[in-house]
Amino acid sequence: MKRLDVVVIGELNIDLVLWGVPLPEYEKEKLAEDMRFTMGSSSAITAHNLAALGTRVGFIGKIGADTFGDFMVKELSRAGVDTSGIVRDERVKTGATVVLANPPKKALLTYLGAMAYLSIDDINWDIVAQARHLHLGGFFLQPSIRNDVARVFARAREMGLTTSLDTNWDPEEQWGEDLLRALEFTDIFLPNEEEAMRIARAGTVKEALERLGERVPVVVIKQGAKGATLRAGNVRIFGPAFQVTPVETTGAGDSFNAGFLHSYLKGEPWDECLRFGNLCGAVAVTALGGTGAFADKEQLKARMESILGKR
Ligand SMILES: Nc1ncnc2c1ncn2[C@@H]1O[C@H](COP(=O)(O)OP(=O)(O)OP(=O)(O)O)[C@@H](O)[C@H]1O
Ligand SMILES: [Mg+2]
C-alpha cells in the first residue's frame, strides 16, 4: 500500500496581513488597526487543509534557511503534512506576501524568493512514488518549474499517479503555452471563473467549461459564493455553494481543492466531490486566513456541522 494519498508540489510563503490601513506614502509612517502573521500560498494551504481532513499528504517545495521557512515547515508539520520533500536552500530567502487589507478590498505585494527557484531537479521522486495523486498549485508564481510541469505530470502518470492543477492568477496575464502543455497531462483542473475564461480564451464560464473539458478529463470551475461547476466527459454538474456569512475569503479556492481531492481519493462520485469541495470552501471563509478554520480538528467539525445544519 502507498504511504501517502497526495503529494503536493508548490509554493511556500508567509503572509503578513495589515488590517485597516491607509494608502502608504513614501517618507511617511502610517498606522494599521490590526495585523496577522500566517501561512500563505495556494499549495501550502491546500496541503495543510487536506491533512486536516485526514488525507495523508507529503509536500515538495523550496524555502530559505530562515525564520519564515521554519514557520512554514512547523505549520505544515503540525497539521500532519510530511515535510521531508521541502528543500532548504541557503542562497535564497523564503517568499513573503504583505497584504494591505481594507475589507472587502486588499492589495498584495509579494517577494517570490525561494518560490522562484524550485525546479524539476528539486523533486524527490521517491516521495512522489509513495503517493497515489500529485497536486500542483501556484503555477505562475514558480518560473523555474512551470515550463517543466508537463514533464513532471507525465512522469507521475507513468508512475501510476493521477494529477491535478490549480494555476491561480497569472500576474502577467499571459496564460502561456507551458500551461496548455501541462493541461495535456492533467486529470483534474481546478481554476476559478475568471482564470478559466482567460485560459480558454472564452467569453462565458459555460464556453470555458466546454473548451477546457475537451483538453482535460475533469474540469472544475470554482464560482465563489455561487458554488462550482464540473465537467467530466459528458457529465456536467453544478454544485451550489453553502450559505455562510463570510469573514474573509483568502484560501477559499485552495480549501475547495482540499475538500474535492479528499473526496476524490476516497473514491466518491463527482457530485459528492463537488459537495464536499463547496463545504470546505464555505468553511474556509468563516475564519481568518486560508487555514484558520482548519487549524483545530474539533472546531473544524463544529464549523461543518453548523453549516450543514443551516441548509
Ligand atoms: N461567500 C462564499 N460563501 C460560500 N462559499 C464560498 C464563498 N466564497 C467562496 N466559497 C466557496 O469556495 C469555493 C472557491 O472560491 P472561489 O471561487 O473564490 O475560488 P478562488 O478564486 O480560487 O479562491 P482563492 O482566492 O483561494 O484562489 C467556491 O467554489 C465556494 O464553494
Ligand atoms: Mg484560486
Is residue 53 within 8 A of residue 293, CB to CB? The reply is: no
Q: Which atom of ligand 1 is nearest to the CA of 290?
A: 26
The three cell numbers of residue 265 are 481519493
How far are the Cα atoms of 1, 212, 248, 281 from residue 251, in angstroms, in the given order? 31, 23, 9, 8
pLDDT digits (tens, 9 = 90+) for 141-165: 999 999 999 999 999 999 999 999 9
Check the CA dihedral 149-253-261-288 and report its sign. positive
Q: Please name each of the domains of the chain with its CATH number.
A: 4-12+42-94+113-310 (3.40.1190.20)
Measuring from each residue's beta carbon to the nearest atom of ligand 1, which residues come in under 6 Å?
168, 192, 222-225, 227-228, 241-242, 244, 246, 249, 251-254, 256, 278, 281-282, 285
Q: Which positions ≥6 away from 206 have C-beta within 8 Å? A: none
Geometric angle at alpha carbon 101, from 248 and 277, rounded to 5°? 25
Task: Provide the residue-wise pLDDT of the chain in tens; the chain has 311 residues.
Answer: 899 999 999 999 999 999 999 989 999 999 999 999 999 999 999 999 999 999 999 999 999 999 999 999 999 999 999 999 999 999 999 999 999 988 878 899 999 999 999 999 999 999 999 999 999 999 999 999 999 999 999 999 999 999 999 999 999 999 999 999 999 999 999 999 999 999 999 999 999 999 999 999 999 999 999 999 999 999 999 999 999 999 888 899 999 999 999 999 999 999 999 999 999 999 999 998 899 999 999 999 999 999 999 66
> What pLDDT was estimated at residue 86?
98
**Separation of CA 139 and ligand 2 centre (Å):** 11
> What pLDDT was estimated at residue 165?
98
**Separation of CA 28 and ligand 2 centre (Å):** 34
Instruction: Out of 11, 222, 248, 257, give the residue to mutate to test ligand 1, the one with the largest number of ligand atoms within 8 Å of its CB.
Output: 222
Cα separation, 126 vs 117, whole angstroms = 21
> What pLDDT was estimated at residue 130?
98
- Which residue, 260, 236, 255, 234, is CA-closest to 244? 255
DSSP 268: -
Instruction: Out of 238, 245, 256, 308, give the residue to mutate to test ligand 1, the one with the largest number of ligand atoms within 8 Å of its CB.
Output: 256
The three cell numbers of residue 8 are 503536493
Helix (H) or strand (E) holding 174: none
**Ligand that lies nearest to the alpha carbon of residue 194, given by its number in the listed order:** 1
**Separation of CA 193 and ligand 2 centre (Å):** 9
Instruction: Out of 194, 249, 310, give the residue to mutate to test ligand 1, the one with the largest number of ligand atoms within 8 Å of its CB.
Output: 249
Helix (H) or strand (E) holding 23: none
DSSP-derived 3-state class of residue 226: helix
pTM above 0.85, yes or no: yes
| Protein residue whose Cα sits closest to atom 11 of ligand 1 | 281
**Ligand that lies nearest to the alpha carbon of residue 221, given by its number in the listed order:** 1
> What pLDDT was estimated at residue 311?
61
**Separation of CA 296 and ligand 2 centre (Å):** 23
Cα separation, 133 vs 162, whole angstroms = 5
Q: Which atom of ligand 1 is nearest to the CA of 166?
A: 22
Q: For residue 227, count CB atoms less than 10 angstroms from its CB and return exposed for 0-12, middle for 13-18, buried for 19 or more.
A: buried
